[in-house]
Chain A
Amino acid sequence: MRQRGIQSWLGLYSLLYVAFIYVPVLFLPLFSFNDGIYVAFPLKGFTTRWYQEMANNTALIDALKNSVLVGCTVAVISTALGTLTARALTRYRFRGRKTIFGLIVVPLVIPFIIIGVALLVLTNRLGIEPSLWTIGAAHLLIATPFTTLIMISRLEGFDASLEEASQDLGETGWMTFWLVTFPLAVPGIVASLLLSFTESFDEFILAFFLSGNEVTLPLYIWGQLRFPERLPMVLALGALILAASFVIVSFAEWVRRRGVNVKGK
């Protein structure tokens, strides 16, 4: 009897917890359809004009394009770097392996504001102008540890004898990689791409310190937070990002499930 009691309390708590996490976030879509400028109850009526305003706002579209550009570039490069690094760490013994591994994980334990400030100081000293490139470089630094860890977990369980067999059968090193190793690593690669893209797309503080003339989406949003008239349009943007996240995360999960079935173990 007591077991049931606790179970229902725990279940209730969990539901409340999920509500606690979601309710503030759900205000974004809620007020993005509200026909009024101020975000307060009572609601004033349904409208889609904020979405239309958003679609017509060139500054917003430009910032969105910049974020997508930086995000994709960072995703591809950091995944590539993560894969290479993971391969080196999982396949070879070499001097300094532990130190290098430690070094790779360091960006995870430094607050971003410190990285931002350090890069600001360096680029200023070297006369490098802040731009999307500097933001991208910073994002690359924080994304690569994640992709490395993902790829390590993917490649580590990988049976080397498969590669051995392939090479015994006459394939060169490269072909072995493409035909044997790569397909098995794909779920990890997809996860790395998605994770690093999302990290870069939503990242604010590094962009804040390192931006030049071109802004990314978070910087644009920051600039808009002060103006009440622009706010609903920004909420519309947030609602769309939320919806897109659902889609992307579901897709990633689907890919992962396929990967589990196809594993080379």
Chain B
Amino acid sequence: MENPITSPPEPRTLALVSKGRPRRWRNRNNNAYILLSPTLFLLVGVMCLPVGMLVAYSFWTQNFTQIDTTFTLANYAAVFEKEIYLKILLRSIAISLGVTATTILLAYPIAYFIAFRVTRQKMLWLILITVPFWTSYLLRVFAWKVILGYNGVINSALIWLGLIDAPLEFLLYNPMAVVITLAHAWAPVAILPIFVSLEKIDRSLLEAATDLGDTRFERFMHITLPLTVPGVTASFLLVFIPTVGDYVTPQLVGGPDGMMIGNLMYTLFFRVNNWPMGSALAIVMIFAITAMGAAIWMATARARGKVQ
């Protein structure tokens, strides 16, 4: 059975052919397009056209409220020449990598625990971990603002216990606060793919390794870890891609140094009033993220190939 996302599912129409009904086959092909047409309509209208318009805007200029549609590369030039854009983009990628690494490192042990140590209530554990993800994201970020704040939970608790005299100021309004908040928000997402790939490991492989004399650590390094590369890769992409463009968390807890590319794009569209510039930045961001995703994909391709 092929892996379902690397290629689309195999249709089960062979039975029909072997029973000698070719005419039905041709009609059915058209059926496929008919079935797909609403979704394609959605994708073209709500994704392709808008992104196409974004690309178009990136080559234009804005004068107050009017758009000058003469073709120009000035916006792209600005993205690479003016320090601010690349600086914030790189900072966003760095913060995202930090968040992704943290979530994966924290998630792996518990995924391992549920896959190998829990025998009966696996589903319960997974549900337990996922439910917080269904509360309002905004409120979860705000919860951290409240926890890390000057008058917040940590500070007031430490003062109440007499451990410090004055509140700690370094907890909030910096990139570290952003990393902590995002790592907490995306933790459940990182667990599931890792758990699934751990679950799929053939236990007999592990037994064989033990029989052949591997220590637990060697077994982990030689068998378990490599076999979970697809899961880790999936977790990586699932966490990295959304967090690069996050707006809420940097806005609420990031402070001046925690500003990320999402905030900058908001500024370009809603304050500086330069939509073409914002569009160019968005396109560059798409390329950057795709490039990173593709790089990770290819870097792990060999390891994943071994799994299959």
Contacts and interface: CB of A to CB of B under 8 A. Distances in A.
Interface of A: 2-3, 6-7, 10-11, 13-14, 17-18, 20-22, 24-25, 27-28, 31, 38-42, 80-82, 84-85, 87-94, 97-98, 100-101, 103-107, 109-115, 117-122, 124-125, 137-138, 140-141, 144, 148-149, 152-153, 156, 159-161, 164, 198, 202, 204-205, 208-209, 217-218, 221-222, 225, 234-235, 237-238, 241-242, 245-246, 248-250, 253
Given A111-B242, A141-B43, A148-B39, A121 B54 contact: yes
Contacts, number: 258
Given A11-B113, A107-B47, A121-B53, A25 B15 contact: no
B28 A91 contact: yes
Given A25-B143, A39-B153, A106-B47, A161 B15 contact: yes
A28 B152 contact: no
Nearest to A9: B109
Contacts of B137: 202, 204, 218
Contact of A28 (B139, B265, B279): B139
Shortest 3 CB-CB contacts between residues of A and residues of B = A111-B245, A118-B50, A245-B134
Given A13-B113, A93-B13, A97-B8, 20 more contacts: A21-B132, A21-B188, A42-B156, A85-B35, A91-B11, A92-B11, A92-B29, A104-B43, A114-B54, A114-B285, A117-B278, A118-B50, A120-B269, A121-B57, A141-B46, A160-B16, A202-B136, A204-B137, A248-B134, A249-B130
Given A92-B13, A109-B241, A117 B282 contact: yes
Contact of A238 (B47, B139, B262): B139
B110 interface: yes
A218 B51 CA distance: 25
Contacts of A88: 31-33, 35-36
